[in-house]
Amino acid sequence: MKIGFIGLGNMGAPMAANLVKAGHEVTGFDTAGVSVAGVIPAASAAEAATGADVVITMLPNGAILRAVAGEIIPAMTPGAGLVDCSTVDVTSARSVAEAAEKAGLLPVDAPVSGGVGGAAAGTLTFMAGGSAAAFEKARPLFEIMGQKAVHCGDAGAGQAAKICNNMILGVTMIATCEAFALADKLGLDRQKMFDVVSTSSGYSWTMNAYCPAPGVGPKSPADNDYKPGFAADLMLKDLRLSQQAAESADADTPMGQLAAELYRRFVEDEDGAGRDFSAMLPRFEKRGRA
Ligand code: NAD
């Protein structure tokens, strides 16, 4: 296939490289002028999109996605696929899909889980929203860049799945960290706490697979001085998107709201920026009840 790839950052560059390795012709564009081995550089987003069978976008946020979509949709050939893998608000995803459909394109919102490691290894999980025809058009590319793609429903359903998942992740990471900090103060050994909780009803991905306590459980960013991994800044972004969506859908999400506020304070006021999102544990460790 001829593929246009727009946004060659931490995630986009390794994803584009995997498409090249699989034998596709990839033309890429990034405003930062990034170059990726094997990816043909384009001078603009519209140039990268012209003549492509599928265009993939991997951009920072919904406003940028909407601006880029405005440039590329008129340049694309009817029948082509437009696959947005960025994490953005549901409203932007739906408005881009609507404009793309009007132009005869096959749009899919397909945010990912798996981080930079999953992007490099080609083991991402895609959660996709769009028509069956659009999903089928994108599926062979999902199979190269990832290990699983779930068709979640119509336009916006992929983003909805992503922010609901990450709201659970943010809330459970905070719960796991505050429980470790309480255990410390009660004189309970962290390894014993892990041995019990990881095999009891408090178990979770954050405890069992990504334990925030250094030296406990499988290797995680906690064992690497909390270098990300998944940065607290990105968790804050996703929690904000969940709260924006909850507001527009009139959903009551008190735990998600509090998690968003705690990560906001952590990132903006407490030196959490650039640290892994599990660095909430040293934050709680230092604090008292007040
Ligand atoms: P990044 O900042 O490394 O990459 C974004 C790239 O987009 C940058 O290289 C930037 O120069 C480029 N860009 C910005 N405006 C542009 C424009 N108008 N035209 C072309 N290029 C433009 O971010 P990332 O970590 O690669 O994340 C990309 C998306 O994936 C985000 O939406 C993020 O939330 C999501 N995501 C990231 C991770 C992760 O672990 N990094 C995990 C899951 C999802």
Ranges of residues in the chain whose predicted pLDDT is under 70: none
Q: Which residues neighbour 253 within 8 Å (Cβ) at sequence distance 6 or greater? A: 167, 242, 243, 246
Does the Cβ of 9 fall within 6 Å of ligand 1?
Answer: yes
Tokens 């890429």 locate to 28
**Residue 219 near residue 212, CB atoms below 8 Å:** no
Report the distance separating Cα 232 and Cα 244, nearest Å.
18
For 135-193, write each residue's pLDDT tens digit: 999 999 999 999 999 999 999 999 999 999 999 999 999 999 999 999 999 999 999 99
Q: Beta partners for 28?
A: 5, 41
DSSP secondary structure code for residue 77 in this structure = P
Q: Which of 21, 137, 148, 162 is catalytic?
A: 162
- Which ligand 1 atom is nearest residue 64's CA? 18
Q: Which residues neighbour 77 within 8 Å (Cβ) at sequence distance 6 or greater? A: 51, 52
Q: What pLDDT score was predicted for residue 290? A: 77
State whether residue 197 is helix, strand or coil.
Answer: helix
Helices (H), the chain: 12-21, 45-49, 62-72, 90-102, 115-121, 132-145, 157-185, 190-197, 205-208, 232-249, 254-269, 280-285
Does the Cβ of 59 fall within 6 Å of ligand 1?
Answer: yes
**Residue 115 near residue 89, CB atoms below 8 Å:** no
Does the Cβ of 284 fall within 6 Å of ligand 1?
Answer: no
**Angstrom distances, CA of residue 155 to CA of 54, 109, 158, 163:** 17, 7, 7, 14
User: Has 162 been annotated as catalytic?
Assistant: yes
- Name the closest-CA residue to atom 9, ligand 1: 9
Does the Cβ of 234 fall within 6 Å of ligand 1?
Answer: yes
Q: What pLDDT score was predicted for residue 237? A: 97
- Surface-to-core class of residue 25, CB atoms within 10 Å of its CB (0-12 exposed, 13-18 middle, 19+ buried): middle
